[in-house]
Amino acid sequence: MGRDLFDLTGRVIVITGGLGQLGRQYTQALRQAGARVAVWDLSLPPRPQDDEGVFYQQADVTDRASLTAALEELTRRWDTPHGLINNAALDSPPNAPAQENGPFETYPEDSWDRVMAVNAKGVFLTCQVVGGAMARAGRGSIVNVCSIYGLVSPDQGIYEYRRRRGETFYKPVAYSASKSALLNLTRYLATYWAGAGVRVNTLTLGGVFNHQDPEFLEAYCARVPLGRMAREDEYNGAVIFLLSDASSYMTGSNLVIDGGWTAW
């Protein structure tokens, strides 16, 4: 029998923002594929599950020293990473202050700085630290997690239900700008590290069901050709593919999984 192209046995994978909704899914899927997973997040879980193949580490993607310390600890414990998922991200939540979800003309500068620091600078720094180590080791795969709003503008009509309530609400600009930045960071690094054996790809995702406001869900799902948001486990296969030998000739690409959102 031929080898399993999707087998990740023994490989060390770093996930930033690993305690989030999708980060937890990726961790579980990677473990099932045989990988050892370093979960990097701002905080540590209060009661980590007993799994020798998961290593929880406190790391701040906006702080190079924090990332370097986490990598050094991980390398001492296991090995130089074989893969990196840049999953950590910040967005303005629906219940953010009114000014943050208000018109573009008055969008707060400090909100822009916070989002860009995590979503763009954070990926840049993590790629420098972890990607650089992988390049020195002569192998690796990086997955930069993007969003449909990095490809196309948010459909502000989805939020019309909030305006009917008397709110002034717009999907803010910083998240879109930060996610679109990842597309060319990916292309840059894919060509820069190609000779070092490090592949770099973007994974662009649509919305994930998380018990959102029923009116939002109705408006969002009506905009998706498949008629629904993604389940939280529906991106796992793409992550395994991008980190495994199944995608060995793929670099500098953008894999879009959005239920057809960007096909309209």
> Which token pair is 199?
């592949």
Q: Could you tell me the residue range of the domain that residue 242 belongs to?
A: 12-151+173-210+231-258
Q: Please check whether residue 25 lies inside any domain of the structure.
A: yes
Rounded Cα–Cα distance for residues 252 and 200 (Å):
6
Flag whether 225 is in a domain. Answer: no
Give me the catalytic one of 175, 192, 235, 249. Answer: 175
d(CA 16, CA 74): 13
What 248-252 contacts at long range (C-beta under 8 Å, 24+ apart), as own/partner pairs, is 248/199, 250/199, 250/201, 251/190, 251/194, 251/199, 251/200, 251/201, 252/186, 252/187, 252/190, 252/191, 252/200, 252/201
Provide the pLDDT confidence category of residue 1 given band limits of 50, 70 and 90: very low
The answer to whether residue 236 is domain-embedded is yes
Give 150-174 pLDDT, tens digit per residue: 999 999 999 999 999 999 999 999 9
User: What's phi and psi for 114, nearest 5 deg?
Assistant: -65, -45
Residues 6+ apart with CB under 8 A from 47: none
Q: Is 175 a catalytic residue?
A: yes
Q: Considering its fold, how many domains does the chain have in total?
A: 1
Q: ∠ at Cα 117 (111, 122), nearest 5°?
A: 150
Torsions phi, psi for 250 (to 5 deg):
-115, 120
Query: Does residue 159 belong to any structural domain of this protein?
Result: no
Residue 96: what pLDDT? 84
Segment 5-24 mean pLDDT: 97
Q: Examine residue 163 and state whether it is found in any structural domain, yes or no.
A: no
Residue 165 lies in a domain: no
**Residue found under tokens 């498949």:** 226
pLDDT tens-place string over residues 209-264: 999 999 999 999 999 999 999 999 999 999 999 999 999 999 999 999 999 999 99
- 46-87 confidence digits (pLDDT tens): 877 778 999 999 999 999 999 999 999 999 999 999 999 999
pLDDT-based confidence at 109, cuts 50/70/90? very high
Give the CATH number of the domain where residue 27 resides.
3.40.50.720
Query: Does the residue 215 lie in any domain?
Result: no
